[in-house]
Amino acid sequence: MVKYRWMLAVGIVLLMAGVFHPAASAESAYFLSSSVEVSFGTSLDFTVQVASEPMLEKLYLFLQPESTDLVLLEVPVTQQSNELRFALAPDSLPLRTFGDVIYWFQAEFSDGTSRESGQYRFAYNDDRFNWRALQTDHFRLYWYEGDLTFATAAVNVAENSYNDLALDYGDVYEGQVIDLFLYGSRAALLDTLSGSAAGWEAAHADPELGQVLMWIAPGPDQRSEMNRQIPHELAHLFTYQVVGGQYQNQPVWLLEGLAAIAQLEQDPSYPQLLQDAADDLRLIPLNSLCSAFPAQGDAVYLAYAQSESFVRYLRTRHGNDALLALLREYASGTSCESGFQNVYGIPLDRMATMWQREVLGVSSSLVLLEKAAPWLLFLLLTVLLPIGLSLFHPARPAEAENA
Ligand SMILES: [Zn+2]
């Protein structure tokens, strides 16, 4: 019934927008029909109509969620009627919210033969809310909290960001439409991310599906949130289009830095956070932000602030084309360090030292001193301290010790 209510409420809008895809009608002589009732986050209820002959012994289900691995499951054959029903827990499957899933069956019979069904399809839509839709040149916006003014403000920010990004990256989404889903609360958004998201995450871009899920609630902060989140997530989609399947080989500092400099408003706390860390020599080495950001705490925000500032520095000093060249260099499979050296001609840590000095006023000698600190301590303990102690406590003459 949940699905029925969902369809009744917004089916017309979404059908126009093309979110629903009717199930494929191909059926074999044995498989007569199949359907799935989706209760988001709760259950997928499958129904399969089969012929009464031959005698079914085993039934396998193949699930192909959009842009993820094929899943094979054996369906328990307990009923002896022509209608088989079974339920799956969505949490146990690699489903993507608002992504399509293609599925089909293979039956094995007691006489040793087997048969495969045609392909069917369902959409794993978040049916917990009454989504409304608004379409512009490059976007389909879905939202459920706030009025049309709220939605119009969001699509205007999206279109403006698109134009800015197209200047930097080219019109890489020409002829395609990007789906933007605006959730009304962080909790509702996090529920859609299957527990994979960090607690601080306010948005999720899925470049493979060409969609962005965000948490932006109507209210006094809505404009700032739109100016920050929408261009940030769109920049992730644009960089994905540039590097294609090699997105995972890109350093995190580069991806997040590019997304941050695309924002129409920066996080107001970042400049102070960055300067304090620079003054206290607490900056995170850039090369430790290649494969992942810190898991939690203030270090996460510092990692974002550093990436934003460093990538902005690279663009100001060396231009946008070098950043695009860097993305393509990493897309060819080069490591974080050598890819940087290949494009900019100097090591990443040397460029980072120049950035610290020129942007944050950190003197090179202080940085060198910090890097040398463990060795200086070692020197102090092993050489200087014993010398110092020997001066204050000269060794007794050998005769005295023998006395
Ligand atoms: Zn990001």
pTM > 0.85: yes or no: no
Q: Judge whether 332 and 244 are in contact, CB under 8 Å.
A: no
Name the DSSP letter for residue 320: H
Query: What is the pLDDT at residue 381?
Result: 63
Output the DSSP codes for 255-318.
HHHHHHHH-SS--TTHHHHHHHHHHTT-PPPGGGGSS---SSSHHHHHHHHHHHHHHHHHHHHH
Query: What is the pLDDT at residue 375?
Result: 57
Query: What is the pLDDT at residue 10?
Result: 33
Give residue 229 CA to ligand 1 midpoint distance, Å: 9
Residue 143 has phi, psi (to 5 degrees) of -150, 160
Give residue 302 CA to ligand 1 midpoint distance, Å: 14
Whether 2-124 shares its CATH topology with 129-245 is answered no
Give residue 260 CA to ligand 1 midpoint distance, Å: 7
Give residue 167 CA to ligand 1 midpoint distance, Å: 20
- Exposed/middle/buried for 104, CB within 10 Å: 0-12, 13-18, 19+? buried
**Distance in Å from the first CA to the final CA of the chain:** 101
Query: What is the pLDDT at residue 398?
Result: 39
Host H or E run for residue 212 = strand 211-215
Give residue 140 CA to ligand 1 midpoint distance, Å: 21
Query: What is the pLDDT at residue 7?
Result: 31
Give residue 257 CA to ligand 1 midpoint distance, Å: 8
Query: What is the pLDDT at residue 371?
Result: 57
Give residue 258 CA to ligand 1 midpoint distance, Å: 9
Q: What percent helix, strand, coil does the chain show, rounded to 5?
A: 45, 20, 35
Query: What is the pLDDT at residue 168?
Result: 94
Closest CA to 355 of 297, 305, 288: 305
| pLDDT by residue, tens only, the chain of 403 residues | 333 333 333 333 333 333 333 344 334 588 989 999 999 999 999 999 988 888 888 999 999 998 788 999 999 887 667 889 999 999 889 898 899 999 999 999 988 899 999 999 999 999 999 999 999 999 999 999 999 999 999 999 999 999 999 999 999 998 899 999 999 999 999 888 764 544 556 788 888 888 999 999 999 999 999 999 999 999 999 999 999 878 889 999 999 999 999 999 999 999 999 999 999 999 999 999 999 999 878 899 999 999 999 999 999 999 999 999 999 999 999 999 999 999 999 999 999 999 999 999 987 655 555 555 555 565 556 666 566 556 555 444 433 333 3
Token digits of residue 26:
């191909």
Closest CA to 261 of 287, 286, 232: 232
Give residue 103 CA to ligand 1 midpoint distance, Å: 32
Q: Quick one: CATH architecture of 2-124?
A: Sandwich (2.60)
CA distance 258 to 318: 14
Give residue 3 CA to ligand 1 midpoint distance, Å: 32
Token digits of residue 184:
């009304």
CA distance 348 to 337: 6
Query: What is the pLDDT at residue 396?
Result: 44
Question: What Cα–Cα distance (Å) separates residue 336 from each residue in 68, 108, 186, 289?
Answer: 26, 50, 33, 10
Token digits of residue 109:
């019979």
Query: What is the pLDDT at residue 372?
Result: 57
Name the DSSP letter for residue 78: -
Give residue 177 CA to ligand 1 midpoint distance, Å: 20
Give residue 14 CA to ligand 1 midpoint distance, Å: 28
Give residue 48 CA to ligand 1 midpoint distance, Å: 42
Domain parsing of the chain, residue ranges: 2-124, 129-245, 250-362, 364-402
Give residue 232 CA to ligand 1 midpoint distance, Å: 6
Give residue 108 CA to ligand 1 midpoint distance, Å: 47
Give residue 238 CA to ligand 1 midpoint distance, Å: 12
Residue 146 gets the label, from left (phi > 0), alpha (psi -120 to 50) or beta, of left
Burial 296-310 (b: 16+ CB within 10 A, else e): eeeebbbbbbbbbbb
Token digits of residue 192:
């859609």
Give residue 88 CA to ligand 1 midpoint distance, Å: 32
Give residue 231 CA to ligand 1 midpoint distance, Å: 10
Give residue 359 CA to ligand 1 midpoint distance, Å: 23
Assigned CATH for 129-245:
3.40.30.160
Give residue 171 CA to ligand 1 midpoint distance, Å: 20
